[in-house]
Amino acid sequence: MRQRRSAQKRRRALEFEAFCAGAAGRLLHVAHLLTAEPPDDAPQAERLLVRSLARTYAGWDRLRGEDPYEAARQHLVSRFAQTAWRYRRGSGGLLDRLSPQERLVLVLRMSEGVAEEQTAAVLGLPPERVHQILLRASAAVLSRRPPAAGRTRPEVATR
């Protein structure tokens, strides 16, 4: 019994390590977009990712063939949504003009390719509302797209 348990522990640790090696980069990218921090200085995104990976680890034996990436992303998203007030003001990331909710919709739909219905279910909103948020967020992102590199110009924040 004890032997079997320690073997299971070892297997879990190995599998988890392999999973992290493959998926942590992409998940960290998602976290950067969500917290709107610049990639080279993103303590909040890293903390968020460590937390959600830890929860993925704790639920590893109960995945039953589910995709661990999706489980980890699910933890990441729900943790982000619960603590969204912390991230209201982005700090120089790509999406720092958007609200946390807009970032979440944009990232899930456009970057992660999650279906509209599923995104709506995650956020507890009707799908039409998600569609509207996506339109607004996309327009906002595209409108500030040409940030001529190197030239910093104070822009008026539009809400």
Partner 1 sequence: MISINARKEQAVRDLLDGPPPTVPPQLARLAADRGRRLLRRRLLLRGGVWLLLVAALVALTVWAVVSGTWVDDPAETTPDFEGW
Contact segment (CB under 8 A) with partner 1 among 79-87, 118-126, 133-141, 148-156 equals 133-141
Three-state secondary structure call for residue 146: coil
Q: Residue 92, interface with partner 1 (CB under 8 A)?
A: no
Nearest-10 Cα torsion for 97, 31, 63, 11: 180
Report yes or no: 159 and 124 within 8 Å, Cβ to Cβ: no
Classify residue 104 by burial, with Cβ atoms within 10 Å: 0-12, 13-18, 19+. Answer: buried
Residue choice 11, 118, 128, 143 for contact with partner 1 (CB under 8 A): 128
Tokens 């003009």, residue located: 97
Q: Residue 125, interface with partner 1 (CB under 8 A)?
A: no
* Nearest approach, Cβ of residue 151 and partner 1 (Å): 18
Positions touching partner 1 (CB under 8 A) are 13, 16-17, 20-21, 24-26, 28-29, 32-33, 39, 42, 46, 49-51, 53-58, 60, 94, 106-107, 110-111, 128, 131, 134-135, 138, 141-142, 145
